[in-house]
Amino acid sequence: GSKQVPSGLIERGLLLKLRFDFDHAINLRPSKLYPNTTTPLRDEIAQAGDIDFIVVREGTEGLYCGNGGAVRAGTPQELATEVSVNTAFAVERVIRDAYQRASARNKKITLLHKHNVLTNAGRLWNRIFNEVGEENPEITRQYLHIDAATITMVTNPSSFDVIVTDNLFGDIITDLAAAVTGGIGLAASANINPEGNYPSMFEPVHGSAPDIAGKGIADPTAAISSAALLLNHLGYTSAAEKINLAVTADLAHRNGTRSTSEIGETIASKL
Indicate which residue of 17, 21, 175, 198 is catalytic. Answer: 175
Q: For this structure, is 114 an active site residue?
A: yes
Q: For this structure, is 64 an active site residue?
A: yes
Indicate which residue of 17, 21, 50, 147 is catalytic. Answer: 147
Q: For this structure, is 171 an active site residue?
A: yes
Indicate which residue of 114, 161, 166, 219 is catalytic. Answer: 114
Decide: 69 and 79 in contact? Cβ < 8 Å: no
Decide: 136 and 99 in contact? Cβ < 8 Å: yes
Pairing of strands 201-204, 188-192: antiparallel
Longest Cα–Cα distance of the chain, Å, equals 62
Indicate which residue of 64, 97, 166, 219 is catalytic. Answer: 64
> Which residues have C-beta within 8 Å of that of residue 132, sequence separation ≥ 6?
92, 95, 96, 99
Q: For this structure, is 99 an active site residue?
A: no
> Is the C-alpha dihedral spanning 67, 72, 73, 78 positive or negative?
negative
Q: For this structure, is 219 an active site residue?
A: no
> Is the C-alpha dihedral spanning 159, 162, 165, 167 positive or negative?
positive
Decide: 59 and 227 in contact? Cβ < 8 Å: no
Indicate which residue of 161, 171, 219, 250 is catalytic. Answer: 171
Q: Order the strands of the 108-113 sheet from edge to edge.
A: 140-145, 108-113, 162-165, 52-58, 26-32, 188-192, 201-204
Pairing of strands 140-145, 201-204: unpaired
Decide: 81 and 68 in contact? Cβ < 8 Å: yes
What's the Cα-to-Cα distance from 156 to each of 38, 175, 180, rounded to whole Å?
17, 16, 11
Would you please indicate which residues are annotated as catalytic (active-site) residues?
64, 114, 147, 171, 175
